[in-house]
Structure 1
Amino acid sequence: MTADTIPPRPPIVVLCGSTRFWDALTEAALYETVAGRIVLAPNCNLQQPHPMWDDPARADRLKHLLGDLHLRKIDLADDVLVVNPGGYIGDSTRREIEYAHSLGKPIRYTHATPDRP
């Protein structure tokens, strides 16, 4: 392949939402991938038991690290998809939305919220 035969880079979307809706995040990633987008998403679910975060202090440190890492994913993305079944948006997701908004990233939602149609 040469530079003139390589297709343009597909858009990159980052999924934001609570990991309590892990199945909905997985489903959204599937649909976005099939639509031809590169998907960045949470890859650790601290809601599910795992030896890497079974210690509460370690889990707290990891939560902060993953939160900051997710902001870097927003930096890389062309747009944001908020996965919010039932319209739910928690504090971490709200922080990510505010960050994406500050960067001028387009934001989509899977479900209407009380303050967004």
Structure 2
Amino acid sequence: MPYPQPLAPEGKLADAKKLLNLPPIIVICGSTRFMTEMNEADLRETKAGKIVVKPGIDMKSPPELWSDPIEAEALKVRLGSLHQAKIRLADEVLVVGDYIGDSTRSEISYARSLGKTVQFTHPEVDPDA
């Protein structure tokens, strides 16, 4: 008699989302130089009935966050880890902007390694196209 296998964390999360009757969750990725476009995408996706998560700190924001280079680098690392957690939480990814830098390229690769659907506001910048 085979025993049921315990669900991996991803399966547990998917089941919990179904039990909670959550709408789709979309994470917005891209360079923070596109924060205006990210905000516009947030409005569109929210209007479409999705839960939206996106970067919470504009890396191009006023320098008080970045005045100490050591603290700034540590914050950048923490924000990268936090954004990966947002990608794990999300059902799909929307990449905003007409430029893909190293961080965004890494996020796209990470999302795809998890089997997430990745869409682009500018499909021509898809590094795998």
TM-score normalized by structure 2? 0.78
Judging by fraction of residues, say which structure has more helix: 2
**Pair 1:102-2:110 in alignment:** no
Question: Partners in 2 of 1:29 and 1:108 — Cα distance?
Answer: 14
Asked if the contact 2:27/2:53 (under 8 Å) is kept, the reply is yes
Question: Partners in 1 of 2:105 and 2:122 — Cα distance?
Answer: 15
TM-score normalized by structure 1? 0.86
Output aligned runs, 1:66-85, within 5 Å: 66-84=79-97
Question: Highest CA radius of gyration, 1 or 2?
Answer: 2
Deviation at 1:51, TM superposition (A): 2.8
In the alignment, what sits opposite 2:72? 59
AA in 2 matched with 1:43: G
Deviation at 1:31, TM superposition (A): 0.7
AA in 2 matched with 1:39: V
The residue matched to 1:44 in structure 2 has which SS? coil
Deviation at 1:56, TM superposition (A): 1.7
Asked if the contact 2:95/2:118 (under 8 Å) is kept, the reply is yes
Deviation at 1:8, TM superposition (A): 2.5
Deviation at 1:55, TM superposition (A): 1.5
In the alignment, what sits opposite 1:3? none
Deviates more, 1:65-74 or 1:44-53: 44-53
Unaligned runs of 5+ in 1: 1-5
Output aligned runs, 1:5-20, within 5 Å: 8-20=21-33
The residue matched to 1:32 in structure 2 has which SS? helix
